[in-house]
Chains A and B, each alone.
Chain A
Amino acid sequence: MTDPILSTRDLTVRFGGHVAVDAVTCDFHAGELTAIVGPNGAGKTTYFNLISGQIPATGGSVSLRGRDIAGMSVSQRTRAGIGRAFQLTNLFPNLSVLENLRLVVQSKSGKGFNLFSMASRHSELTEAAEAVLARVRLLEQAGQTVSELSHGDQRKLEVALLIALDPAVYMFDEPTAGMSVDEAPVVLDLIAELKAQSDRTILLVEHKMDVIARLADRIIVLHNGALAADGDPATVMASDVVQEAYMGKELTDV
């Protein structure tokens, strides 16, 4: 097998006496979409935070293409290739939709410290941002202020920011959270499209089993912060851990 893009070794974080993520060791490969499942409070989002750097780990390591990134800040990890979309919409609310995306494109171009040129005249940034907007079908809303958008469109923009960043590792934290049944498929199609068209490593935290069945190449299960199962979707979904976590079935022993 090829070298993993992203791997965590005994990754652990404890808050006081509570171990939120407990020695998780896992490799993620290029072109693979891994779904991370587990009941509420299992540590899925915390695991994400450890990888993208919002929370420092108390033990273990995270590495990207073999390079240890545990000491890096969030922005350094982002530039190194770890991109993150958030469970709770996390945008720039009083800027326009286009400006939100342009900021991402600009970050990639390294023009942030350009002090005396006019941002509005960097047409290459605007064009790149518009291309992503077209892809997520938000081009009509380009001029709107983000806080005026519907919740569904804000979720789409959240995903769009990540697509504009185009990192080596895409991390989606419940991308369809709070979306209506009509809107959710749009976001899921975007992720499917992403998976089909590139060899990016995609991590997806999701509760909806039908979504997982459709998209995932592999499922890992977190339970009380620890890795409880890892394998192809059919096997994992039939396993006792998943049955207990999602169907409420009593688990005799793990």
Chain B
Amino acid sequence: MIKSLFSDDLPRSVVLSVILGVILVCLALAPFLFPGVRTVDTAARICIFIVLVASYDLLLGYGGIVSFAHTMFFGVGAYGVALALTHMGRGFDAIVVGALSGAVVSAVLALVIGLFSLRVRAIFFAMITLAVASAVAVLVSQMSGLTGGEDGLTFKTPRALTPAFKFGGELFGVKLNGKLLAYYFVFFGALVLFLLMLRVVNSPFGRVLQAIRENDFRAEAIGYRVVYYRVAATCLSAAAAALAGSLYAVWLRYVGPDTTLSMEIMIDILLMVVIGGMGTMYGAVIGATLFVVAQNYLQNLMGAAAGLVEGVPLLPDLLNADRWLLWLGVLFILSVYFFPTGVVGRLRAGR
């Protein structure tokens, strides 16, 4: 049963299993273990980024295809839900319609980009995605009548997912309200999407993707139409990224170019995949968790550390909370240097 759920692809390392287990428990019980607006928000972001990074890993780690348009698909999903909720009213039907149309539009976009460029060479695909993603980002900020431009869109989610909706009193000191439901909507949505993707990479299709990544020339010579598989992987990955975007929109009740379409997020995704470990799926979990936690809490940690070493020359300046981005950079360089195969690769090798 559990093996089926994980598609016969278990973590294969005791330490890794423990870490993943801890992350799962923490995320599953986040509102109870770490009550607080900011902590729950961080947990929801982790869930969403796990899906987003896993969908990118499907493409890069399994298919060996470099794309710079992943945030575009993420954004299409988010804007899909935003537009549906704005124009159809605040119902669950609007979420379903928005998410599905976002996923379909993303897959079609990916299909078009893929058919045009994947026939030629993989590097050409990377360049095209970069161009299309930039064009879409500009388009979204220009079409302010529809998308709200740079300001983005604020919209209402179904009442059952808002803090105003209360059912019962408290459980372990946590208010039972719509915000809690919204968190579990995100959590279970992310869990299902992640397990689905884990299944896809371990399916016969996933095996062909790995073969193409390893040696596309030979994959062709044993009878696989390499282009079709690459295009299919691109579409799947785009649809999954769009669904992650839809979850993000439901959680934030806001979409804007900065939160969904920016190149900065694209770089973050790349870093999360590399830090976690490419071509492992579980790397997405580790990478997204580490990254989002660091992004949200490194600043606080450093502020505290600077306070501790007060009086010592130089150190408080170095540890000043304003320098958190510098230290985040240092952490990334170190992790790539010490774990070239990612955290998951390292843990599996050290078994």
Contacts and interface: CB of A to CB of B under 8 A. Distances in A.
Contact of A117 (B203, B222, B223): B203
B4 A91 contact: no
Contact of B222 (A104, A113, A114, A118): A104
B210 interface: yes
A117 B215 contact: no
B221 A84 contact: yes
A163 to B, nearest CB: 12
B32 interface: no
Interface string B186-215: 000000000010011011111110110011
A16 to B, nearest CB: 22
14 contacts: A78-B221, A78-B223, A92-B219, A95-B210, A95-B211, A102-B207, A103-B208, A103-B211, A103-B219, A112-B224, A115-B236, A116-B196, A119-B203, A120-B202
B60 to A, nearest CB: 15
Contacts of B203: 114-119
Given A91-B215, A118-B199, A99 B207 contact: yes
Contacts of B200: 115-116
B202 A78 contact: no
B218 interface: yes
Interface in B63-122: none
Contacts of A115: 199-200, 203, 205, 236
Given A90-B215, A92-B215, A93-B215, A79 B223 contact: yes
Interface stretch (B39-47, B125-133, B225-233, B302-310): B225-233
Interface residues on B, range: 20 to 34
A119 B225 contact: no
Interface of B: 4, 7-8, 196, 199-200, 202-208, 210-211, 214-215, 217-226, 229, 232, 236
Nearest to A100: B211
Nearest to B210: A95
A117 B211 contact: no
Given A93-B214, A106-B207, A118-B199, 14 more contacts: A73-B220, A74-B220, A75-B221, A103-B207, A103-B208, A104-B223, A112-B205, A112-B208, A114-B203, A114-B205, A115-B203, A118-B4, A118-B203, A161-B222
Contacts of A119: 202-204, 206-207
Contact of A112 (B196, B204, B215): B204
Interface string A80-116: 0000101000111111000100111011100111111
A121 interface: yes
Interface string A38-71: 0000000000000010100000000000000000
Nearest to B229: A112
Contact of B8 (A103, A116, A118): A118
Contacts of A114: 203-205
Which residue, A78, A103, A120, has most C-beta atoms of chain B within 10 A?
A103
Contacts of A75: 220-221, 223-226
Nearest to A74: B220
A73 B217 CA distance: 12
Contacts of A161: 222
Interface in A207-230: none
Contacts of A106: 204, 207-208
Contacts of A92: 210-211, 214-215, 218-219
Nearest to B208: A112
Contact of A118 (B202, B210, B224): B202
Contacts of A107: 222-224
A127 to B, nearest CB: 15
A14 to B, nearest CB: 23
Contacts of A121: 8
A122 interface: yes
Q: What are the nearest 5 A-B pairs in CB distance?
A: A78-B223, A92-B214, A107-B223, A120-B8, A114-B204
A21 interface: no
Contacts of B210: 92, 95
Nearest to B7: A118
B349 to A, nearest CB: 12
Interface string A18-46: 00000000000000000000000000000
A11 interface: no
B8 A165 contact: no
B247 to A, nearest CB: 21
Nearest to A84: B221
B344 to A, nearest CB: 15
Contacts of B224: 75, 107, 112
Which residue, B202, B218, B221, B232, has most C-beta atoms of chain A within 10 A?
B221
